[in-house]
Structures are given as structure tokens and as C-alpha cells.
Chains A and B, each alone.
Chain A
């Protein structure tokens, strides 16, 4: 019977204690209920106007373990017998008992099943499930058996009149009393262990007093009671109070009191309902029924709304990030626990803002004092509040001396008619340090790749360097001899010395170029002539090309616009591309070993540098993956060169891609933005930017 879904205490000892407590409550209620039902009875059909035992038994069954059900059913049946037998025939009482038990069982099973346990009346859905199970289906079952009983015993010729009487009285009972009864039995069964606050207790007592006073005024006062239902409207404010503040259980309790008072007022002084017309009873029942529907709906909606609010509060409080809400004027109206804690521990004026403070004004005054972070925050908040931006993100270092933390604050528009903004602040120190670390590693790697490129060129570069040195040595030795002559040929020696000076400068320039490529320097952004860049890369690699019998061809547009970037890094990329092209032609017949370097300006905004080879071409499945780390077509390659090259080009705001040529071989294109464009910003070490504010 696990499907009933009610959660029960696992321990048997505790279970017995709860059963005893519940039975202690159950016995007086069910006996009193039968007695009341017996008094408030339709004269001929044997059905009560309001049948309390239905609510009491159903509530007890819903909250208890199925194995305890037998006790409740037994006691209920005994109470029914004690009240009605022998005034009524044995068979009548027996069948009525069957109807009562079947109805309560059906209600308990349906309610627990449909509401997934004991109904909590949070949101309208539970209420409708409760209505279907306990107000419509179960009373119909009871009414069908009860009406048959009436007809069988000849008390009525009509089946539907007693059916209607049974149904309405039980539906009304379920509506008005069942939620309160379930709350009571939940409490005795140990399922509802809510600590009652003193304030709520006082409010409950006050509400009960107000209800009793209102009812006494209506019922005992001198107001003319033409229709009792009309005067009962005076109790509506208190019903709403109970629904909004004490939920469905509280509303049900108040409804129960009002129902009894109403019945008493209709039936004042009489011991049975015999004197009442069906119409009057029905009117009263309808009034109570619709009042109950409205009030319980209100209670369920209010409880649902309260649950949502609580959930949002809990979520906000659980967040590690500091969250605050601003209204359209920029005044903070809500801040979570993280925000408040941070505000308390902070000395910076902007960090100290709390609920009720005008955050925008705080930003403005901070900006007026010349605080960079205040200015950035003021701009951001203003933009979001005015709707100019959907969200703004600002990263800044803690302005407080001695705190080396970095924060990222996100200002996001609050999507509601009143406007406003959500501020979310997170401590991103760790992330930022990780970024810097990655940046440092990237630079190291890029340097290593550069050293690697030069390593591959070392043979050719040594040859290049040996040329001026050979010339210098030969010239120097020749000059030496001329000067030793008698007389010394100083004129010729002077001419030779001039050549030595020129050759020495040639060697020095070459060493300087190599040194700058080998240096582990920081990024240096400067204007670079694209044609020069390509020509220098060719000069550096010319000897290597010679050694490999590769014929270089150039197609360089000397009028190509200047670039903005780091010359050493761009040189590294071009050398890498040239060496790759050379490697691609290792197995190619000599006349086809050609390399074309081109510099073109396709449009005014970009310059395209291309390195084309007539090698084996690239496998099509590798063309895009080629730029991923550790992807290589060479047997001895690490697969880092192109990946680093692409990173460098991307940092320059450019694009690097490969394609196969229709005539064989491959071309690598590199498109870079020209220097004139104002938005060109190199996304390299952020540490070179001012530390105070980074957008």
C-alpha cells in the first residue's frame, strides 16, 4: 500500500504512540460527530445536513498507516451503531455504516493518490485533486449506497432525492472540515512538526476571538434574520484573513465554525431539522459550499505564491555570488546574504551599499571623487536602468588597500514593467590568476616555437652569417699584408677596410634580427609594413630554400597598407609557414619545388599574406583540424607550430586558414586587419592594460 504516499515515522514504538494520540483525538470526535449528524438530519431520508464523521474518518485514514486503518473503521462503526441503533432498523444502520466506510476509504485512497500524499494545498492543483477525490467521487459512492438504503427500506420512492441529500451534505463536510481535520491528525501522527511561532499563535487566538465575536454579533444581535446566509457575509473578512495567513487548514477551521453557527442559527431552538424546508437547507449548503470554494482557492493560491517567494529567497540566500536588486531609480531593495556579509566586511563605500541605499547615487559620488571603478559602475548601471544596454559586465580590483582580490560585477536589466536591475558580483581572483598563468604559458610556448623554427633554420643561418665573416677575414688578411709592404699601400688598405666595415655591419644586422627572434620579450605593438615583413621572412629563410633547392617566387604588392602588431610574432608565423611549405615539398621533383609568397590587399580593411607551395597538398579531413594542437602531417612534427600561429594571428584580430590549390600543393592564407582601423586591439596580455578597470 505504498502508493498511498503518506510518509510515516519508521519506528514502531513511535508509531504506536502516534496511533494512541490519534485514537485519543479520533474517539471523541467521531462520537460527537455522529451525535451531531443524528440531530441535524433530513426528517425523512435519514441523511445528516452535515456529517462530521466523514471528515474525521477520512482525515484519520489519509494520515495513518494502512495497517492501523482497522482501528479507525471499527471505532467509527461502533460509534455509528451506538448513536443510531436501536432507533433505526438493524439492516438500515448496517448498510449506512457500509456506505460511510466505503466513502471514507474511497476518499482517503483517492486523495492520497491524486495529491501524492497528504494534500498540502500549495497551489491550485492540489485543491482540484482534493475536490475530485473527497468532494465529488467519494461522496457520490456514499450517496449511491445511502440512497439505495433509503429506497430499500421504503423511506422514499424517489432514488435521487436522498442521493442528492447524502451527496451535498458529505461534499460540504469534506469542503469545510476535511482540511482542518487532516491538519489535526497530521499533528497527532507526528507528520507535522512545525514549530509554532509565538507571533502566529497570538494571531491565531486573535483571529478566533474576532470570528467568535462576529458570529455572536450576527446570531445573537438584533439584526433581522430574513435569510441567515446573507448575514453570514459579515464573517467573510475573517475567512480571508484565515485563508491568507493560516492556509487551507486555517480556512477550513474557520469554515467549520461558521458552518456550525449557520446551522445553529437556522435551527435555533429546535432539536431536529424537521421544521426546516429542503430549500432552506439547500440554500445554506450552497452558501457554505461556494464560500468554501472561494476561500480554499484563495488559501491555495496564497500558499503557492508564498512557496514561490520562499523558494526565491532560499535560492538567493544559497548563492555564493553577491546579488542585489535595484529599482528603476537605482535604489537597492533586496540583497542576498552574501551581498550583506560582504558589505559588512568591506570598507570601500561602493561595497558598503545595502538594502535601502541609493546605489546609483553612491556610484555617482564615487565617480565625482575621481574613482575609476565608480565611474565605470555609474555608467554601467545608468545604461542598464535606462534600457540602453541589456547587461554590462565590469571587472575590477578591490579598491581597498591590502585586498588583492578581483571582482566581476554583472549588471543585468530586471525584466518587469517597473524596470530595475540585478547586480551579481563574483570574486574572480582565482579565475583571473589562472588566465594570467595561461597567458604566461602561451608566451613561453610561443617563444619555444620560435626557437624551434630558428633551430630548423640554424644550418642555413650559419651559412648566411659565415658569408660576411669570410669576406671580413679575407679582406683583413689582405689589408694586413698590404700594410706590411714597404712602403705600405695605405690607399688600397683603406678601401679594403671600408669593405670590412660594411661586411661587419651586415653580420651585425643579421645577429640583431636573430636575437630579436630568440628573445623572450613582451609583446610590442607597432606599425609594420606588410611587404617588408614578408621580404624579411624570405631573407631569413633564403639560405634554407637554397639548401633545399626550392625556388622562391614573390608577388608582393608594395603598396599594401601597414599592419598593427608584434613584428617578431608575425615573423615567427611567416617563417613557420615557409618551413612547413618546404617540408611539404621534400618528396617533390626539383623543377616543381617552388614557393610563392604573396602580399595582397583584397580590400581597404585587410591585408592578406599567403604562402603557397607545390607540395603534396593537405589531406582534406585535416584541413581544418590542422590548426589544433598536436595535429600534424609530418612524421617528426610536434603539431604545435600552426596551432601557435593561429593563436598569434587571432590575437592580432586576423584569420589563418589552409586550402589545397587546384594545381597541386597547398596555400596558407593569413588575413590581418590594417593599422588604420581604430577597433584593432591586440587581445594579448591583459596585464599591459591599466589594472584599475577592465571592461
Chain B
């Protein structure tokens, strides 16, 4: 998993939540930081979690950038606004889900499962 959010608190919270489900997580404070981490144009993650509203580079801008580099990565977008309205901006991009902040763990895991096409096992039993 790769998490891109400008807010440190949000980054830490989301990372911890993913770690509970034994998902490997790397965090980035901005789109630029994530782009810089690409290894020969390939990401180190199977799924990208991004905030729609970020300074310097918004979620949509980051996806367009990735698209232009030929990077295809299933993406989950967070927003404080109406998720339907936000997802409309992302049509044609590899957005799997648009989630409203604050995000429920069940919704997040369901979205991740859809993104990676595999079941995320809960180490603590049924959710």
C-alpha cells in the first residue's frame, strides 16, 4: 500500500489501520514525494490511497501524472466533500473507490480488496 496525504496525523492513522490487517505500507507527504519514489517508473505498491485535496499537487493531478508516465495503479481517493462529486473528476482514471473522510475501517478494507482483487484476511477473525 502507498498512502499519500499532506496531513501527518492522517498518514499515521491510516498506516496503523493498514498494519493491523498485515498490509505493507509506505507513506508519502505529497504527490511529488510519491513520484520520486517510483523505481524506474514502477511503484512499490499494489494499491494507492490518496487525499483529493492536497497543496502543490492534488489527487487528480497526481493520477494524471501517473497516467502520463504509463503507471497503472488501482487507487482509492479520500475526500471530505461529497464522494460522488469527487469521483466524477476521476472518471477515466484507475480509481477503484471514493471514500468520505473520516473513513471506516470496513469500507477501507472492502475497497482495498476490490483494488487488489484479493481477500484481506483479518488476523483477529471475522470482521
Interface status of B7 (Cβ within 8 A of chain A): yes
Interface status of A468 (Cβ within 8 A of chain B): yes
CB interface residues, B 4-62, toward A, < 8 Å = 7, 9-10, 12-14, 16-17, 19-20, 53-55
The answer to whether A469 touches B20 (Cβ under 8 A) is: no
Q: How many residues of B contact A (CB 8 A)?
A: 23
The answer to whether A472 touches B13 (Cβ under 8 A) is: yes
Cα distance, A459 to B85, chains bound together (Å): 14
Asked, given contacts A466-B102, A506-B9, whether A474 binds B14 with beta carbons under 8 Å apart, the answer is yes
Q: Which 9 A-B pairs have the closest CB atoms?
A: A474-B13, A471-B9, A466-B80, A478-B16, A473-B102, A471-B13, A470-B102, A481-B20, A477-B105
The answer to whether A478 touches B10 (Cβ under 8 A) is: no
14 residue pairs A–B, Cβ–Cβ below 8 Å: A466-B101, A472-B13, A474-B10, A474-B13, A474-B17, A474-B103, A475-B17, A478-B16, A478-B17, A481-B105, A482-B20, A502-B9, A543-B53, A547-B53
Q: How far is the CB of A549 from chain B (nearest CB, A)?
A: 8
B68-89 vs A, CB cutoff 8 Å, 1 = contact: the mask equals 0000000000101100000000
Q: How far is the CB of B50 from chain A (nearest CB, A)?
A: 13
Known: A463-B81, A474-B17, A481-B124. 14 other contacts (CB 8 A): A462-B80, A463-B53, A467-B10, A470-B13, A470-B78, A471-B13, A473-B104, A474-B13, A474-B103, A475-B12, A477-B17, A478-B16, A502-B9, A546-B54
Interface status of A604 (Cβ within 8 A of chain B): no
Please, which residues of chain A bring their CB within 8 A of the CB of B7? 467, 470-471
CB interface residues, A 452-487, toward B, < 8 Å = 459, 462-463, 465-475, 477-479, 481-482, 484-485
Please, which residues of chain B bring their CB within 8 A of the CB of A506? 9
Please, which residues of chain B bring their CB within 8 A of the CB of A546? 53-55
Asked, given contacts A477-B17, A478-B17, A546-B53, whether A468 binds B9 with beta carbons under 8 Å apart, the answer is yes
Across the interface, name the chain B residue whose C-beta is closest to A481.
B20
Which secondary structure dominates where chain A touches chain B?
helix
Using a CB–CB cutoff of 8 Å, the interface residues on chain B facing chain A are 7, 9-10, 12-14, 16-17, 19-20, 53-55, 78, 80-81, 101-105, 123-124
Asked, given contacts A470-B102, A473-B104, whether A484 binds B124 with beta carbons under 8 Å apart, the answer is yes
Across the interface, name the chain B residue whose C-beta is closest to A503.
B9
Please, which residues of chain B bring their CB within 8 A of the CB of A475? 12-13, 16-17
Using a CB–CB cutoff of 8 Å, the interface residues on chain A facing chain B are 459, 462-463, 465-475, 477-479, 481-482, 484-485, 496, 499, 502-503, 506, 543, 546-547
Please, which residues of chain B bring their CB within 8 A of the CB of A469? 101-102
Cα distance, A470 to B104, chains bound together (Å): 9
Across the interface, name the chain B residue whose C-beta is closest to A496.
B16
Cα distance, A474 to B10, chains bound together (Å): 8
Q: How far is the CB of A469 from chain B (nearest CB, A)?
A: 4
Please, which residues of chain A bring their CB within 8 A of the CB of B10? 467, 470-471, 474
Cα distance, A473 to B105, chains bound together (Å): 9
The answer to whether A473 touches B124 (Cβ under 8 A) is: no
The answer to whether B102 touches A499 (Cβ under 8 A) is: no
Please, which residues of chain A bring their CB within 8 A of the CB of B53? 463, 543, 546-547
Asked, given contacts A470-B78, A484-B124, whether A478 binds B9 with beta carbons under 8 Å apart, the answer is no
Cα distance, A482 to B16, chains bound together (Å): 10
Please, which residues of chain A bring their CB within 8 A of the CB of B9? 467-468, 470-471, 499, 502-503, 506
The answer to whether B19 touches A478 (Cβ under 8 A) is: yes
The answer to whether B80 touches A471 (Cβ under 8 A) is: no
The answer to whether A478 touches B20 (Cβ under 8 A) is: yes
Q: How far is the CB of B86 from chain A (nearest CB, A)?
A: 12
The answer to whether B54 touches A474 (Cβ under 8 A) is: no
Cα distance, A471 to B5, chains bound together (Å): 11
Residue among A469, A482, A485 with most chain B CB within 10 A: A469
Residue among A465, A472, A474, A482 with most chain B CB within 10 A: A474
Across the interface, name the chain B residue whose C-beta is closest to A463.
B80
Cα distance, A479 to B124, chains bound together (Å): 13
Cα distance, A477 to B109, chains bound together (Å): 12
Q: How far is the CB of B105 from chain A (nearest CB, A)?
A: 4
Please, which residues of chain A bring their CB within 8 A of the CB of B14? 470, 474
Please, which residues of chain B bring their CB within 8 A of the CB of A468? 9
Across the interface, name the chain A residue whose C-beta is closest to B127.
A481
Please, which residues of chain A bring their CB within 8 A of the CB of B20? 477-478, 481-482
